[in-house]
A and B are shown apart, each in its own frame.
Chain A
Amino acid sequence: MSLSAQQWLQRIHTLNLPAPVKLMNVCGGHERSITMSGLRGALPKAIELIPGPGCPVCICPEEDVFEAIQLALHEPVILLAFGDMLRVPVNVPKHQPRSLEQAKAAGADIRPIASPLEALQIAQDNPSQAVVFFAAGFETTTAPVASMLAQGVPDNLYLLLSGRLTWPAVAMLLNTGQAAFHALIAPGHVATVMGLPEWEFVIQQHQMPAAVAGFTAESLLAAMYSVLRQLETGQLALDNCYPQVVRSEGNPTAQAHLQQVMQVVDANWRGVGIIPASGFSLRPEYAAHDARQQLPSYADEARRYAGAMPPGCDCAQVVLGKIYPNQCVLYGQACTPRHPIGPCMVSDEGACRIWWAGGLRQSQG
């Protein structure tokens, strides 16, 4: 059965909802689709849609961005990063480059790429030079990086890996017992790769409704209807509202490549802290391509603690869904896409950037 967005909305409006219901999404793509289709205005007032930890650029640890900047500035390398990473700011004294973009302007060879295939090509084209691929991303992005390595890469290609798993951040929020949401809209393309079962814990352990959504208004509204209906009836079951693409088992080849190349480790999230078993690192068999092992280290343990969000910036609260983007006092004032203070205003996946692009310009902070 395939309903139109309008039909799903009508169904949602007929539900008998309790007090305000908060639905969290953990995917920048979902937030973009929700904001750009104006879904918030079309839903009953009792329903709040909260953007949660869905932006890999936003939670990429400051010390990793700092390390990428230092490698590019001080080592004879070509540094590659997904375009979104280039303007992410780090906390450094004023005279030092505070982003990869500024390091590039200072003379470092830094190139934005859109695909691991480009990293492969650049490494092949520059065999005498070390090429460092600073790879930040969630499972959907990290799996192709693993596939690239599984297929084989030139000796001069090194990974500065900053891959993260999505579900442990949701688990962390739920485990605090203070989750400020009542149901979860799970990310469609993460589930495409990793499969449905990893989201079962939301229902099994936390008795919270959950549904996987795609990126059309229809799929998102179907998932919203599903979790609201689960709340109404008390009958919970993980629903797949993106069955055209998401299969229960996910993508077995992608998972095999992740398993072969990477291991799951405790990992730092910017502004959040260490989340257990939430990051990827290269397995020892791939140490020859690990920038952290093969190239000089600029890692500074102190940055883990000092290197949170920039002063005054509420990105950490935004990432965790504790406040809306426009509740940050910097939003739209000191912090705009042209002059971003925090990473949520930098990335296309960042909630602040998305809300700004959606036309919301005033801070209520």
Chain B
Amino acid sequence: MCLGIPMQVVEINGFNARCEAKGIEREVSLFMLQHEDIQCGDYVVVHVGYAIQKMTEAEAQSAWEIYDQMLAAEDAQARGT
């Protein structure tokens, strides 16, 4: 449950943002990042709908690489059962 997912901020409305990853958009709260300057285009780590930290685009991409591998491995196992 503690796995944060990197997402890109698409739109900001007060403490609420629309964020995107892998073509999927989600409503995300920026309430926990009040100490940060968050702009559209920034990347954030999202956990249970809340952005918990900013991250760079490069880190977001490398995180997604491992998540893709993990999901693919889990899918393959699930199909095998």
What mask results when residues 54 to 68 of chain B are scored 1 for a CB within 8 Å of chain A, else 0? Answer: 011001001101110
Name the B residues within 8 Å of A187 (CB-CB): 2
Instruction: Kindly identify which residue among B50, B66, B80 contacts A144, using a CB–CB cutoff of 8 Å.
Output: B50
Cross-chain contact B52 with A189 (CB below 8 angstroms): yes
**Chain A contacts with B in 23-63, Cβ cutoff 8 A:** 27-29, 32-33, 36-37, 56-57
> Considering the chains assembled together, what is the distance between the CA atoms of A273 and B66 in angstroms?
35
Contact A349 B63, beta carbon cutoff 8 Å: no
- The answer to whether A216 and B31 touch across the interface, beta carbons within 8 angstroms, is no
Measured CA separation A84–B59 after assembly (Å): 28
Determine the chain A residues whose CB is within 8 A of the CB of B48 once the complex forms.
82, 114-116, 137, 141, 144
Report the separation of the CA atoms of residues A150 and B50 in the bound assembly, to the nearest whole angstrom. 13
Contact A141 B77 (CB under 8 A): no
* Nearest A residue to B70, CB-CB: A36
B32 touches A32 (CB 8 A): no
Shortest B46–chain A CB gap in Å is 9
Give the distance to chain B from A257, nearest Cβ to Cβ, in Å: 7
Residues of B within 8 A of A37 (CB): 66, 69-70
Q: How far is the CA of A246 from the CA of B62 in the complex (A)?
A: 16
Total of A-B residue pairs, C-beta within 8 Å: 131
Interface residues in A210-252 (C-beta closer than 8 Å to B): 214-218, 244-247, 251-252
Query: Interface range on chain B: under 10, 10 to 19, 20 to 34, or 35 or more?
Result: 20 to 34
Q: How far apart are A116's CB and chain B's nearest CB, in angstroms?
A: 6
Please give, as numbers and ranges, the residues of chain A lying within 8 Å of B33 by CB-CB distance. Answer: 251, 253
In the complex, whether A12 has a CB less than 8 A from a CB of chain B is: no
Q: Decide: A217 and B15 in contact? CB cutoff 8 A.
A: no
Q: Within the complex, which residue of B32, B67, B78 is in contact with A254, where a contact is CB–CB below 8 Å?
A: B32
- Secondary structure call for the A interface: helix
- What is the CB-to-nearest-CB distance from B33 to chain A, in angstroms, rounded to a whole number? 7
A contacts with B, residue count (CB < 8 A): 51
Contacts A28-B2, A117-B27 given; indicate if A193 touches B49 (C-beta within 8 A): no
A56 to B78, CA, bound (A): 23
- Residues of A close to B56: CB separation below 8 A: 244
* CB-based contact B32/A36 at 8 Å: no
Say yes or no: is A190 at the interface (Cβ < 8 Å to chain B). yes
Name the B residues within 8 Å of A147 (CB-CB): 29, 31-32, 50
When the two chains form the complex, which single residue of A117, A244, A357 contacts B55, counting CB atoms closer than 8 Å? A244
A140 touches B47 (CB 8 A): yes
In contact, A215 and B77 (Cβ under 8 angstroms)? no
Contact B52 A215 (CB under 8 A): no
Say yes or no: is A151 at the interface (Cβ < 8 Å to chain B).
yes
Interface centre among B59, B78, B80 (most CB of A within 10 A): B59
Q: Please, how many angstroms separate the alpha-carbon atoms of A57 and B1 in the complex?
A: 8
A-B contact pairs, 30 of them (CB 8 A): A29-B2, A32-B70, A37-B70, A57-B1, A116-B49, A117-B49, A140-B1, A141-B1, A144-B49, A148-B29, A151-B31, A187-B2, A189-B3, A189-B4, A189-B47, A192-B4, A192-B52, A214-B63, A215-B67, A216-B63, A218-B62, A244-B59, A245-B55, A245-B59, A251-B33, A251-B52, A251-B53, A253-B35, A357-B77, A359-B77
Q: Which residues of A contact B (CB under 8 A)?
A: 27-29, 32-33, 36-37, 56-57, 82, 84, 114-118, 137-138, 140-141, 143-144, 147-148, 150-151, 187, 189-190, 192-193, 214-218, 244-247, 251-254, 257, 347-349, 357-359
Interface residues of B (CB under 8 A from A): 1-4, 15, 27, 29, 31-35, 45, 47-50, 52-53, 55-56, 59, 62-63, 65-67, 69-70, 73-74, 77-78, 80
The 9 closest A-B pairs by CB, nearest first: A115-B49, A144-B50, A244-B59, A29-B3, A140-B2, A36-B70, A117-B49, A216-B66, A36-B73
